[in-house]
Chains A and B, each alone.
Chain A
Amino acid sequence: MLIKRLLEFAGIEPQRFLVKWVSSSEGQKFADTISELAAAIKALGPNRKYRDAL
């Protein structure tokens, strides 16, 4: 939660970061979580923030 808020504070889209509690027996929940995350990141496009030397 703190990292998510800190990244948001630094100007990174909070949708790019996810912490979720998924048990090893919850295969479907894991697949759904990752699909949702991948779709959210695809919609945002590649992140170049803080990647290139300024």
Chain B
Amino acid sequence: MKISEQIRDYAKKMLEEGEVKQFIGFEKGRLPFHSTPVFITEPGQVERLIWDDYCITNLSKYLVNFSHEDGKTALVVKGCDSRGIVRLIQDHQLQREKLVLIGIPCQGMKDSLRFFSKGDDSLLSPGGKCQSCTHPNPVLYDILIGEEVKSVNMDRFKKTEEIENLNIDERYLYWSREFARCIRCYACRNVCPACSCLSCYLDQHRVDWHGKDPAENASYLLTRAIHVAGRCIECGECARVCPTGVSVMELNKKLIKDINELFGEQDAGVDFSQTHPLCQYHTDDPDDFQ
């Protein structure tokens, strides 16, 4: 049976039996080569649910909106969605018992935005978010549909190292051009499963922590990266949703690479027993500030 049909069957059963209040999955978008998240609350609507090569969105962030409501939510999860959920549960933003997760191993998704702008429809499009995926299989699920897939072993820090190897002026030139394109729409913040504060310092206009002057783009993007350091699950949604194509993910990758170097190799949102690398102390931690 096709994956889409299995999703519909599970959704119909869960909604009819009242096990869940809503089912979050994907439906065909208005444009070809495009699938969009859908929220199903009636059993009669399950025919809208699909599963294809364009289900690229990380759905985990939506759950934060429903965490204080009664009733369960069912959700279709790929590797990256499940890591986002683990991370949000670890941050006490979600309750596991209010979720029903349908895991689907993912071989990489096609990006409709890249398709329309560059004609690129490959599953692991170069520079696309799935290219450096380390966990294509869901790490947390109740029901698994499909066969587990092997992770594509690509060097996920290749571009980070390329930037590191530039000299200081070249690095400044590279990043000043990147930061200059930022229009401060905050899409990268809104989509991020690690950015889960309901009240963000950027929205506190009265306190005026942070202005919207273009000269402050650098401090915005660097601060955002630091705020999610150690919690970034590398889903790459921030870079995917950026309307001006700022390489936001490279800042996250740099921090992940540094945390791995300084505090040992670790992947956020994979294992419940693993605590946040920046929230623990070991006597052998590097301490060059002493």
Contacts and interface: CB of A to CB of B under 8 A. Distances in A.
Interface of A: 1-3, 5-13, 19-21, 49-54
A44 B50 CA distance: 58
A54 B176 CA distance: 8
Given A6-B254, A12-B172, A20-B289, A1 B218 contact: no
A2 B226 contact: yes
A11 B250 CA distance: 14
B222 interface: yes
19 contacts: A1-B258, A2-B255, A3-B226, A5-B254, A6-B222, A6-B251, A6-B254, A9-B163, A9-B171, A10-B172, A10-B175, A10-B218, A11-B169, A11-B176, A13-B168, A50-B215, A54-B177, A54-B214, A54-B215
B213 A11 contact: no
A24 to B, nearest CB: 16
A50 B168 CA distance: 14
A21 B290 contact: yes
Contacts of B171: 9-11
Given A1-B288, A49-B176, A50-B179, A10 B213 contact: no
B9 interface: no
Contacts of B251: 6, 9-10
B contacts with A: majority SS: helix
B270 interface: no
A6 B226 CA distance: 9
Nearest to A51: B215
Contacts of A53: 213-215
A11 to B, nearest CB: 3
A44 to B, nearest CB: 11
B172 A21 contact: no
A9 to B, nearest CB: 5
Contacts of A51: 215
Given A2-B229, A50-B179, 8 more contacts: A1-B258, A6-B226, A10-B175, A11-B170, A21-B290, A51-B215, A53-B215, A54-B180
Given A2-B255, A11-B175, A19 B226 contact: no
Nearest to A52: B215
A46 to B, nearest CB: 15
Q: Report the 6 A-B pairs with minimum CB-CB distance, sorted nearest first.
A: A11-B172, A11-B171, A50-B218, A54-B180, A19-B289, A53-B214
B172 A49 contact: yes
B262 interface: yes
B113 to A, nearest CB: 25
